[in-house]
Amino acid sequence: IEVAASDARPLFIRVRLLGDAAGEFDLAVMADTPEPVTFPLSLQDAAQAPALQQGVAVPIRLRRGQSAYFRLPAGGGAVATRELRDGTDTVLELLDSNGQVLAEDDDGGEGLSSRLQLDATRKGDAFVRASVLGNGSGAFELILLPADQTR
């Protein structure tokens, strides 16, 4: 269970075994130690940041409701998620410079991974927004693949 630090109200948790089973287990509360964010969290920040580099995997850990944004270089290829951890289900969206969604993919990669094909003839700035399905949280890698490695 993940609880936002901004949730200041008292919280309670009820824990039980399923059915009539007997048993025991440990319950642990772990403090969240935020990792430094190393990627843009908005379209405006992505427009000022360097473009995603071809073949360089970017590790991403998103908290509930966060999205990562990256400016895409000109040319074709594909952008994909991989190395999904702990059941993370990713969603990728191709955006124009105004934030309009041009294309979207949920499970076009392997399993729960996402994959967007990029048109080599596209004009203007383009961005990719990487999110976790259902406003969830999770960790994965994002990679820009060259056109000859997109199948």
CB atoms within 10 A of CB 138: 21
* 58 contacts 92 by C-beta, under 8 angstroms: no
| pLDDT value of position 1 | 63
pLDDT for residue 4 is more than 90: no
Q: Please give the average per-residue pLDDT across 114-129, as a whole number.
A: 89
| pLDDT value of position 114 | 93
Residue 117 tokens read as 């094909």
Rounded to an integer, what distance in angstroms lies between the CA atom of residue 87 and that of residue 138?
Answer: 8
| pLDDT value of position 33 | 58
pTM confidence score:
0.74
| pLDDT value of position 36 | 60
What would the pLDDT profile of 44-60 be if each residue is shown by its tens digit? 999 999 999 999 999 99
Task: Determine whether 75 is exposed, middle or buried from the number of CB atoms within 10 Å of its CB (0-12, 13-18, 19+).
Answer: middle
Residue 37 φ then ψ, to 5°: -80, 125
pLDDT for residue 150 is more than 70: no
* 105 contacts 78 by C-beta, under 8 angstroms: no
